[in-house]
Amino acid sequence: MIDPLVTAAREARERARATFSHFKVGAALETTDGRVITGCNIENATYGLTLCAERVAMFKAVSDGYDSFRRIAVVADTEEPTPPCGPCRQILWEFAGDIEVILANLEEEKGRYRMSELLPLPFDARLLSR
């Protein structure tokens, strides 16, 4: 059985704007109350202003008032799992903590991880307090 969160991420992937890389990614973020907020990667010509699917989903969720999350699914058309990049890991950690990360491709689920596995020594607000 396919996890509905993975299905939502696959559908979000179809809306990606990957004009330059042609590397489409979809993400689906689940809140603790069961709502699903999706995101897709959105590129531009400078690349530096490109946003990954995971950050789009997180920023949409936060801007809509959500602040408690259970898990996120990330889907790309790759044989191997495509984990969140460094900036996405940082954003996911800061806004969602040690949530579950489901990695999948267009055919199957490829793995489940905790954010603490993907970002074992995070920089966060704890380090800024005195």
Determine how many CB atoms are found less than 10 A away from the CB of residue 26. 30
The set of catalytic residues is 54
| CA 15/CA 6 separation, integer angstroms | 15
In this structure, what DSSP letter does residue 127 have? G
Residue 39: which residues within 8 A CB-CB, separation 6 or more?
12, 26, 27, 28, 29, 53, 54, 55, 56, 57, 58, 59, 60
